[in-house]
């Protein structure tokens, strides 16, 4: 098969050919229907979600042909909330975005799409020995989803948006000699989120992700969003609209931590 992507010929509607799990029981993203989400105080209220990230001393950026990714080298831990006592290690973060501000996020909220969505990918280091070991396990991964909306610039994201111009071709990598604290990429309110069991939103679409999607969006400037749209994908086209549309909820419940 031609390499998967987001064009008509290789996009989300074709992924089921090579990745039949595309039509599975716990696929992501989903449309979050806010009135159907269930407040669940015992599981969520008892131990708050907590992040303990170590700032990166240098920033490793990769254009992987589908997104721009930052490889994490320091020890960063996510635990609590739906993850219980398990400690999930931060592995990488990347984004999905649209060609215009009216689209680009993967999760939607009552049908509303945001301009972009940032994903911080973690693996269950309490139960598995490596990312590769965890990536296919039903409780192997946890991804924080942060909605991005046009507004003021996000200072911590500058190191990425300022270097997109040097990562214009698929496979391009660079290391920027500056620090980056992933904590500062999160919204100020990290108590209010939706959570559900889902999957990777790209091939191989493994059903191994506990999704945690924050209610509060983060603002990026127009210039920062434009920088993402100037990246080039593995087919040599402008990398944009690299989002999968919502999949069926099937027999799942979305939980929320706020009333
Ligand atoms: C291309 N994108 C995926 C890359 N991955 C990957 C890397 C190595 C091996 C592997 O399977 C064998 C998968 S990944 O696990 O880091 C993730 S997370 C994710 S998302 N959008 O759901 O947050 C997409 C991808
Ligand atoms: Zn993603």
pLDDT of residue 234: 86
pLDDT of residue 248: 98
Best mutation site among 6, 60, 104, 121 for ligand 1, i.e. most ligand atoms within 8 A of its Cβ? 121
Please tell me the pTM assigned to this model: 0.97
DSSP 97-137: E-SSTT---SSEETTBPPSEEEEEEEEETTT-SSHHHHTTS
Question: Using an 8 Å Cβ cutoff, are 215 and 173 in contact?
Answer: no
Best mutation site among 90, 130, 197, 200 for ligand 1, i.e. most ligand atoms within 8 A of its Cβ? 200
pLDDT of residue 47: 82
pLDDT of residue 131: 98
Distance 19 CA to ligand 2 centre (A): 17
- Tally of CB atoms within 10 A around 236: 8
pLDDT tens track for 84-125: 999 999 999 999 999 999 999 999 999 999 999 999 999 999
Q: Which residues of the chain have pLDDT under 70?
A: 1-2, 43-45
Question: Using an 8 Å Cβ cutoff, are 73 and 59 in contact?
Answer: no
> Residue 157 corresponds to which tokens in the numbers above?
């994201």
Predicted ipTM of the assembly: 0.96
| Cα dihedral across residues 68, 71, 76, 82: positive or negative | positive
- Tally of CB atoms within 10 A around 176: 17
Distance 145 CA to ligand 2 centre (A): 8
pLDDT of residue 40: 83
pLDDT tens track for 211-221: 999 999 999 99
């Amino acid at each position: 098969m031609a390499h998967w992507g987001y064009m008509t010929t290789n996009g989300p509607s074709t992924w089921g050919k090579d990745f039949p799990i595309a039509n599975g029981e716990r696929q992501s993203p989903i449309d979050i229907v806010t009135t159907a989400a269930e407040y669940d105080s015992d599981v969520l209220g008892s131990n708050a979600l907590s992040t303990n990230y170590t700032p990166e001393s240098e920033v490793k950026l990769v254009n992987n042909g589908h997104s721009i990714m930052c490889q994490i080298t320091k020890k960063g831990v996510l635990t609590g909330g739906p993850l219980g006592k398990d400690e999930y290690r931060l592995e990488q973060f990347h984004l999905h975005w649209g060609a215009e501000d009216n689209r680009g996020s993967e999760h939607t909220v009552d049908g509303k799409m945001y301009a972009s969505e940032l994903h911080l990918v973690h693996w269950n280091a309490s139960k598995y020995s490596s990312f590769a070991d965890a990536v296919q396990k039903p409780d192997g991964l946890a991804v924080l989803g942060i909605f991005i909306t046009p507004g003021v610039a996000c200072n911590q994201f500058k190191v990425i948006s300022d270097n997109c111009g040097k990562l214009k071709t698929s496979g391009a990598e660079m290391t920027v000699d500056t620090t980056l604290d992933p904590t500062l990429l999160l919204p100020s309110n990290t108590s209010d989120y939706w959570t559900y069991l889902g999957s990777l939103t790209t091939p191989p679409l493994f059903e191994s992700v506990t999704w945690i999607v924050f209610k509060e969006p983060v603002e990026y400037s127009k210039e920062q969003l434009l920088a993402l749209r100037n990246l080039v994908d593995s087919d040599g086209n402008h990398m944009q609209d690299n989002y999968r549309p919502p999949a069926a909820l099937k027999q799942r419940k979305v939980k929320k931590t706020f009333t």
